[in-house]
Chain A
């Protein structure tokens, strides 16, 4: 297909019309931004009115003379959490420090999920019952059990299983690997169907052309089908990743120092859960907005591709 540019209107009437429409569009965008801002201000005002303590946002605690900051920051600007002391100047930074862990777990989990989804999809498309059966079983089981239950099974239930020689003390998985396994396995099951659809979206003619060249089934898959199918599924993988960053909060139940765990930890300690949880919620929201922005860029790039 050749690329044709739309004819540009040359007469003044049409040009004026185009300008008018452009103005109308930008006016709409401005109004949406204004409404957005008003909603945010209203929510903030509501929280402040109902007891939200904002002082930690603005006050900087210094380490001079045993001063105790009002917003629950410990003596000398040090936050005491258990035996751990943190010398940042507020809850905000303490909670924010959980973002790398949240992203770390999400990235590892999505990689595992992609790998499992690919295997699952190939199994689901196989005519061999020894491949189709396990793949179908995997999808059914991991989609049928709540993610939180799966996390507990990986972390709390497996240590009871003792395998002589291999795991004499039980299958003990540390919290972070357990979280990655749980999230990856569960999301892999969901994404299997996405991958299957991606593979099936490649037209039959592609397979036929490759077969007609004399390729084996394996070569057809590796050289022709998968390279095209992966391009199709990259945008959905992005969406799953965004969802996963939020579901990674479930890992806080295993005392992993990610966003939610940090927020709830100091929230409980200083009886300020309201503030800390709202901060955590804001961070999740901001991360989602940024990731969605990147996602839309990615999608636009994919759409522009060579197809």
Chain B
């Protein structure tokens, strides 16, 4: 098997006295789609944010695309490695976080031009390719405030893709969206998965996880409880905790569905 793109070893994270991640070890291989599910507060977002050092891990080691950084070290070299990790890991946030003072295309080329030092023309060429990919070419010169939530999130995905990262990190990308806008974002993500983009997706969308994921990771209490293919996870989970969680989620979904059809 090929070398993993993301490798996490014995990761711990504490916020003060709160121990939110407990000894997480985890690997993602090229072209894999891994969905992370779990209750809110189970540490799944924190885990994702530790991978590109938006949260500083308390202990452990993280390796992304060949750059390995250990917790608790310091120095210029480490800072440079973290930058390398961030350029090779594209991140999509729950709240989109587009830059409001830049147009769509400016948002998209900001990373390549400022961080990679790429020429403007080249960056626009690549950026337009990905903008077309998420189906928003006609919004090229709009400002983010004039876009719907779903459109903003698709631009955010294009922005991350234009850095041509080795892995894409999605932090609950549809949680802030109105229900009718979730579909368009999921469609884009499904396309990416089909094309072989390596993805780690923290999500509450069980349908998406079941359909797209190669592996589903269930987290509880800051630890990985179960890590299995979706057909196993959603039909006969190994752990009692997982089963309870899935039952509750599916029940909730049915209730919502019931209300809608009433």
Contacts and interface: CB of A to CB of B under 8 A. Distances in A.
B115 interface: yes
Contacts, number: 74
A213 B93 contact: no
Given A1-B145, A205-B95, A223-B114, A214 B87 contact: yes
Interface in A39-53: none
A205 B86 contact: no
A57 B163 CA distance: 70
B114 A208 contact: no
Q: How large is the interface on B (under 10, 10 to 19, 20 to 34, 35 or more residues)?
A: 20 to 34
A213 B163 contact: yes
B245 interface: no
A211 interface: yes
B250 interface: no
Contacts of B10: none
Contact of A307 (B87, B93, B145, B156): B145
Interface in B56-90: 83-84, 86-87, 89-90
B99 A209 contact: yes
Interface in A1-27: 1-3
B234 interface: no
Contacts of A214: 83-84, 86-87, 111, 115-116, 163
B93 A209 contact: yes
B257 interface: no
Contacts of B95: 203, 205
Nearest to A208: B54
Interface in A188-233: 203, 205-206, 208-216, 219, 223-224, 227-228, 231
B111 A213 contact: yes
B163 A228 contact: no
B143 interface: yes
Contacts of B115: 213-215, 219
A206 B111 CA distance: 13
Nearest to B90: A212
B100 A211 contact: no
Contacts of A206: 97, 99
B91 A212 contact: yes
Interface in B127-145: 143-145
B120 interface: no
B175 interface: no
B17 interface: no
Interface in B89-132: 89-91, 93, 95, 97-101, 110-111, 114-116
A215 B97 contact: no
B148 interface: yes
A211 B110 CA distance: 12
Nearest to B159: A213
Interface string A273-307: 00000000000000000000000000000000011
Contact of A213 (B84, B86, B101, B143): B86
B52 A212 contact: yes
A227 B100 CA distance: 10
A216 B145 CA distance: 26
A211 B90 CA distance: 11
Given A2-B148, A208-B93, A214-B83, A307 B100 contact: yes
Nearest to A205: B97
A211 B101 contact: no
A36 B178 CA distance: 51
Contacts of A209: 91, 93, 97-99, 156
A274 to B, nearest CB: 52
A216 B114 CA distance: 10
B82 to A, nearest CB: 9
Interface in B160-200: 160, 163
Given A209-B93, A306-B100, A219 B114 contact: yes
A140 B148 CA distance: 46
A227 B114 CA distance: 15
Contacts of B156: 209
Contacts of B54: 208, 211-212
Contacts of A306: 100-101, 143-146
Interface of A: 1-3, 203, 205-206, 208-216, 219, 223-224, 227-228, 231, 306-307
Given A3-B146, A213-B111, 9 more contacts: A2-B146, A209-B156, A212-B89, A213-B87, A214-B84, A215-B114, A223-B114, A306-B146, A307-B145
The 9 A-B pairs of least Cβ separation, nearest first, read A209-B97, A214-B87, A212-B91, A213-B111, A205-B97, A306-B143, A214-B86, A214-B115, A307-B100
